[in-house]
Amino acid sequence: MTTEQTTSPPRTGVGIAAQGLGQSVRGGRRILADISLSVAPGELVAIIGASGAGKTTLLELLAGVQQPAAGTVTYDGAAAAGTIGVVPQDDIIHRELPLARTLRYAARLRLPSATGPAEIGDRVAEVLAELRLTDGAATPVGLLSGGERKRASIAVELLTRPGVFFLDEPTSGLDPAIAVELLRVLRALADTGATVVLTTHQVTDVDHCDRVVVLTRQGRLAFTGTPAAAREFFGLRSLVEVHLRLDEATQPGEWPDRFAEQRAAEQPSRTTGDGDVAATPPRRVGRLRQWAVLTARNAEIVVRNRLTLAILLGSPLMVLGMFALLFRPGAFEPTSPSPTVTVMILFWIAFGGFFFGLTYGLLQICTELPILRRERLAGVRLLPYLLAKVAVLLPLLALVDLALLGVLRGMDRLPPVGGADFAALYATLLLSSAAALALGLLCSAAVSDAAQATLMLPMLCFPQVLFVGAILPVPAMAVGGQWLSYAMSNRWAFEGLGHTAGVERLWRDGGSPLGPPLLATYGDSFSRPLWVDWLVLGGFVLLFLGAAWVVLLRRDPRRAP
């Protein structure tokens, strides 16, 4: 079925014109050169070419996801009003949530702030129906079939009724019948006015399209026009053989040059039309609303993923159980204190707070990078994004830290401190957890996947054990270690806890002969006022969150490679 001659309803989509587009990557290698083409409003366009030819690159340049090294992309006037939908190859939805829920969150992040809940519900239902997903509305996204999930990713983008859609390999991995079904959906979108550009490895997909763009292995334009014209140009009965035909060329530039000649003969002067505008970013939902929606979504993801929640809350409980087994009661007994045990108790409490915070943060961002990348393009800001992570995880950490201190205090593993001192211990521990959470988020922002994040865990933990001053007191460390110890958030937590627990007084005045000499090796570690420790810990929170923000900003998809 060729559809280039369809008599579709009047189209109001977006026209795209690319002029002399080129892209190069690090090392100066040119991966795309001199691509000029135009797409009419409401066209369904396929970009084909061998693997590595530059299809994804061209799609991202046309969509404005990447900045070109050379040339320009312009949209006609309609783009200013509408938005751009981009569906990357990776899924851009959370697998934990039911489809309709995830679409609701996406709608609240993308539709104007004034859109009410009822209107959002209607829009979600409309989109589900349009993509024939209504039956799967209540199914968690992770349980949908591959084809349904691909349509779900498209549904997210359809919410804002974009005038133009870019899809990277939407049919890859789908069985042929489902792929045809998906193409029919895209065809219907184009017929109702949207411009749709997709990349594909399935040359049969091209038959559903109005226009095909053929790239050579070297990233040059071998052809653009209707599929029928392409067959004629390459002298083929079916485009299935087009890659072979391109590879038969004696020089890499043969087909691009031939096409340029033909085009020059047909259209002597090609210029972009007047009144074109550059792609404009969509209007953004306010930061506060973004934060609120993202926080609600994070909370729902945590709650819905029972196993994750069980691990998040269960592992601290197990550690607490181990502490209870390890430490004997009465170590802080004023008449017969046990200095070495008190050091270890305080250190491991501090390390527990650090470890929980770190592990809570470490998998948060790297596991949803494609979603973040897409939502950044839809206008989501990084600060609300990061603070929404903190808003959900910090209360959980507060619970865990409180349980840790409360139980140990109840079991006589802590000094018999009164309310104010207990609150001070708690505040120190919570600040320490917050700093570790921020460090975890920073690392999660810097790596590419969960495996890398997991590999970082020992690297992050070792120094926070070695250079804290508990295993070896800071004054007893080599000079380099002493300097490094300042950078360990755990050191400040450990010393703050020791200060509040009154170890100096306990060791000096207590009955243990080990006390005074041990105290001497610690120097003034525990004599610093508590507010200094808090200030430093608070500084770490801000530093790590700020660094996470910078790292994510540097990963901004709009930056040229």
Positions that interact with Mg ion (CB under 5 A): 56
26 is an interface residue for ligand ATP by CB under 6 A? yes
Instruction: Give the x-and-dash track for 56-75 against ligand ATP (CB under 6 A).
Output: xx------------------
Contacts of 513 (CB under 8 A, 6+ apart): none
561 is an interface residue for ligand ATP by CB under 6 A? yes
Nearer to ligand ATP, 20 or 561 (CB): 561
Among 13, 54, 147, 498, binds ligand ATP (CB under 6 A): 54
Residue closest to 69 by CA, chosen among 32, 23, 33? 23
* Nearest distance, CB of residue 55 and Mg ion, angstroms: 5
202 is an interface residue for ligand ATP by CB under 6 A? no
Nearer to ligand ATP, 54 or 85 (CB): 54
* Nearest distance, CB of residue 212 and Mg ion, angstroms: 16
Residue 53 contacts which entry, Mg ion, ligand ATP, none (Cβ below 5-8 A, type-dependent): ligand ATP
Tokens, residue 90: 């990776």
Q: Determine the interface stretch with ligand ATP among 45-53, 115-123, 389-397, 401-409 (rule: CB under 6 A).
A: 45-53
369 is an interface residue for ligand ATP by CB under 6 A? no
Task: Look at the block and give the residue holding tokens 């205090």.
Answer: 409
DSSP run (H or E) holding 154: helix 146-158
Cα angle, residue 318 at apex, residues 313 and 319 outer, rounded to 5°: 100
How many residues bind ligand ATP, per CB under 6 A? 12
Among 42, 49, 64, 193, binds ligand ATP (CB under 6 A): 49
Query: What number of other Cβ atoms are within 10 A of residue 513's Cβ?
Result: 9
Whole-angstrom distance, CA of residue 297 vs CA of residue 301: 6
For the residues of 66-81, what is the DSSP string, one character each? S--SEEEEEE-THHHH
53 is an interface residue for ligand ATP by CB under 6 A? yes
DSSP designation for 205: G
Among 19, 44, 55, 515, binds ligand ATP (CB under 6 A): 55
* Nearest distance, CB of residue 421 and ligand ATP, angstroms: 55
Residue closest to 554 by CA, chosen among 301, 376, 424? 376
CA atoms within 13 A on the CB side of 148: 20
Contact status, residue 409 vs residue 423, Cβ threshold 8 Å: no
Nearer to ligand ATP, 213 or 397 (CB): 213
281 is an interface residue for ligand ATP by CB under 6 A? no
511 is an interface residue for ligand ATP by CB under 6 A? no
Tokens, residue 560: 């040229």
Helix, strand or coil, per DSSP, at residue 222: strand
Residue 25 contacts which entry, Mg ion, ligand ATP, none (Cβ below 5-8 A, type-dependent): ligand ATP
Task: Look at the block and give the residue holding tokens 């020992």.
Answer: 458
Nearer to Mg ion, 124 or 246 (CB): 246
Contacts of 187 (CB under 8 A, 6+ apart): 3, 44, 208
* Nearest distance, CB of residue 31 and ligand ATP, angstroms: 4
Binding residues for ligand ATP (CB under 6 A): 25-26, 31, 49, 51-57, 561
